[in-house]
Amino acid sequence: MPELPEVETVRRGLAPAMEGVVIKAADIRREGLRWPFPDNMAARLRGARVERLRRRSKYILADLDRGETLLIHLGMSGRMQVSGDPLGQFHHDHPAALKHDHVVLDMANGARITFNDARRFGAMDLIDTATLAQHPLIAVLGPEPLGNAFDGPYLVERFKGKKTPVKSALLDQGIVAGLGNIYVCEVLFRAGIPPKKHAGQIAAPAVAALVPIIRDVLSEAIDAGGSSLKDYKQVNGKLGYFQHSFAVYGREACPCVTPGCDGVIVRINQSGRSSFFCPLCQR
């Protein structure tokens, strides 16, 4: 599933083609994806101007001038493609329709936004912008890891007394929004913390030190266009390349990248997800 860096990369790719632009036509080709599309979705989108394109956790949010926000979640395999962009940043010609192109938005500037999702775990919804923060999907989210509300004292307080593994705590979207399995593995390696250690057992200075490490890993991944492992591509069709910088994720049985370390990367299962770590560097 695309994580924060991938979703942010997609948002940045969509912005030049969508922000400040009217949706000229909306072609909705099925009744829904993970859940049904809202009533009259095509009519509600047609003629609306996209005032702002933003991200909250792993959701892309397009604020419309009609007082509604289009919420987009990529799910497991969802992809957004831009074609015909007059700014010349993307493909000049619109590609032929594909089997899993479920929503197509034609913008007034000539750009076309296509949402393709082979597994159909993605989602789109229209939500009242004024009450978006109270929506069940949004209200449960913790602070953004790249935002000012996420800092050392906050994380220390949230970890205090927690008996869950630190890996699970960092994946808890109510503690910090947008982190996923890949980047938590990389963060814990840089921090030298084993994934099974209870969050409440980590000393406060080490917990606080996780914050800048999280910011660094996410920022580096965004700069690299995200990580392409299976389905993820940027809106121009290019792959991300942060996967080439993985220190532990997906590197089971490979030697540790730390100079002088004789460790070998281990994979364990935690709550149905794979955790990768170096048993010598992280202990």
Kindly report the CATH number assigned to the domain that includes residue 178: 1.10.8.50
Asked if residues 281 and 187 have their Cβ atoms less than 8 Å apart, the reply is no
pLDDT at residue number 138: 97
Please say which residue of 139, 171, 191 terminates a domain. 139
Residues 10 and 112 in one domain: yes
Mean pLDDT per 10-residue segment, the chain (283 residues):
89 94 96 94 98 97 98 90 70 71 94 91 95 96 97 98 97 96 96 98 98 97 82 69 87 97 97 95 95
Q: Is residue 283 part of a domain?
A: no
**CB-based contacts of 64, cutoff 8 Å, min separation 6:** 45, 48, 49, 50, 51, 70, 129
pLDDT at residue number 68: 98
Handedness of CA 210, 213, 218, 221 (dihedral sign): negative
Range of the domain at 234: 152-277
User: In terms of Cα–Cα distance, which of 72, 90, 73 is closest to 81?
Assistant: 90
pLDDT at residue number 230: 62
Please state the domain count of the chain. Answer: 2
pLDDT at residue number 239: 65
**Coil vs helix vs strand at 82:** strand
- Please tell me the pTM assigned to this model: 0.91
Active-site residue set = 2-3, 58, 273
Residues 115 and 67 in one domain: yes
Q: Is residue 282 part of a domain?
A: no
Residue in the block written with tokens 């030697």:
255
Please say which residue of 105, 139, 173 terminates a domain. 139
- Between CA 173 and CA 109 the distance in angstroms is 36
- Report the b/e string of 115-136 with b at 16+ CB within 10 A: bbbbebebbbbbbebeebeebe
Q: Is residue 144 part of a domain?
A: no
- Between CA 155 and CA 277 the distance in angstroms is 22
Residues 159 and 128 in one domain: no
